[in-house]
Chains A and B, each alone.
Chain A
Amino acid sequence: MALRKFRIFRGDSRETGELVEFEVECGEGMVVLDAVHRIQAEQAPDLACRWNCKAGKCGSCGADVNGKPKLMCMTRLSDYPEDEVITITPMRAFPVIRDLATDVSINYENNRRLPHFQPRPADFEDGEFRMYQWEVERPQEFRKCIECFLCQNVCHVLRTHDKHQEFIGPAFFVRTAVYEMHPADVGDRREHLKEHGGIGLCNITKCCTEVCPEKIKITDNAIIPLKERVADKYYDPLRWLLRKLTGRG
């Protein structure tokens, strides 16, 4: 056991809140969330923070730890030098409710606006589809998303420029890709991606990919292929000509 220093954001807005310093006994194997719980138990019972599973699966314990978006339950204290003060702040891209709890409801609104799964007519009378594992593997990667919103939090379009109304953000490009690349789906989401999703605002700088705890290759496997699809429809003069000539696509 050793004493470690933490600075934790306290308050109900970034303008008036402050960083409060705590010293806690920390032992081997502890994660940041353990330390926060110990602070709650011993020093600040009213410290607000969300958590649920403590296993990196519910996606509720996201925060900025030393300026980097992390799941607190998956971030080991041993990742930081013993004499380093660990600073924990609420996810920067979202309004603070209190302390480490933020208001992420804009994500649920954006999610509701996404075009839904649009399956082709079923292949069998009982409503089943025929598809192979090798072709459905691609969207399965995106199914790993635990909706922690760390990617939304780190994306500069939201974090710095606050464009929540124009830009659905990486998590919802991932969600769109689940449907768009599904073998049984026949929907065309390109207009939605361009006009409402704001995919042109993403400049593929990959911060989202760097922080995803599920290691989803958000930029390479979801966003860029979607950008290519949007380019097919809107920015490819050859395809435009082909469409005019054949009346297809």
Chain B
Amino acid sequence: MATSHCCKDIIERSFGATLRRDNWWVEPLTMVVVLLGFVIYSVWRAFEHANYWGGPYLSPFYSPHFSVDLPRWCSPAFLIIWVPAGFRFTCYYFRKAYYRSFASQPIACGVGKPWKSYSGESKLLLFQNLHRFFLYLAIAFIVVHIYDLVKATRWPVSAAAAYTSPHHAAGPTEFGIGIGTIVILIDVILLTGYVSGCHAFRHLVGGCIDAPSRVFLGRLRHRIWRGVNVFNEHHNMWGWISLAWVGFTDFYIRMVASGTISLEFDRLF
């Protein structure tokens, strides 16, 4: 019978101190790499201020597009990107992801933290409660993205009628589908799935009702709430896939806009 003192790990009072033996650091490390990669790419794209539309396609990073004169340093992306960024930043799921991986609050369950004091979301982070307002804007953005999708099916009838600015062709257009249209369609579906599982949405549609049988339209709202639960159960998955796909959608449209992928190649029919 051997004995040993092992207080550091039992007490978990220093960063990383734990008795866990699994690879607890893999998940936060992966999150840091993926999230940081996405943020760097989207900031670069917002600053690039070019190659954001090509043919009938408009990048989601620059949509909705306003025809206003902006100073040279101001990319049109800055006008709108705070909406999806704010929505994801205040999303209950992404909060969990970055509180753990970026802030070590905690980095993993049952692992020592580097911080002595803690106030959670009760002081500086009170603004996270405004997530519902980003939700309202995100719903409006889905409508805008559906509009972009419809526009992505309009192709110039002749070369002379080509697009001259986002969503604006010089002549008559006809219905057509390109790879980009499908990419945007998938983006809209994934974004809708992500927003449909939002906790604030779930609360709004029916989660705030305790006795649905006693309120007006209660049964219907309860049914919608149950539908939202289906998305909510996998909200993290919808969050990641839609994040990756919106990045890819922008990347694809950049390829088209820069001429790396030609419109002839892109168009399917």
Chain A: residues with CB nearer than 8 A to chain B? 7, 9-10, 14-15, 17-22, 43, 64, 66-69, 84, 87, 89, 92, 130-132, 134-135, 154, 156-157, 159-161, 163, 180-185, 198, 200-207, 210-211, 219-220, 224-225, 227-232, 234-236
What 19 new A-B contacts, CB under 8 Å, besides A66-B19, A229-B208? A7-B4, A18-B5, A19-B3, A64-B110, A67-B9, A67-B110, A92-B10, A131-B213, A156-B109, A160-B112, A160-B118, A163-B118, A182-B210, A200-B126, A207-B106, A230-B129, A231-B129, A235-B129, A235-B130
A-contacting residues, B1-26, CB 8 Å: 1-7, 9-12, 18-22
User: Taking the nearest CB of chain A, how far is it from the CB of B148, in angstroms?
Assistant: 28
**B4 and A181 form a contact (CB under 8 A):** no
A14-B4 Cα distance, complex, nearest whole Å:
13
For B63-104 the 0/1 string (1 means CB < 8 A from A) is 000000000000000000000000000001001100110000
A232 to B19, CA, bound (A): 41
Seen from chain B, the residues whose Cβ lies within 8 Å of a Cβ on chain A are 1-7, 9-12, 18-22, 92, 95-96, 99-100, 105-106, 109-113, 117-123, 125-126, 129-130, 132, 199-200, 202-203, 207-208, 210-214, 222, 232-233, 235
Q: Which residues of B lie under 8 Å from residue A206 when comparing CB positions? A: 96
The 9 closest A-B pairs by CB, nearest first: A200-B122, A67-B19, A67-B20, A207-B109, A235-B129, A201-B120, A183-B211, A228-B203, A21-B2
Q: Is B208 a contact of A232 with CB atoms below 8 Å? A: yes
| Pair B122/A201 contact, Cβ less than 8 Å | yes
Residues of B within 8 A of A231 (CB): 129, 132
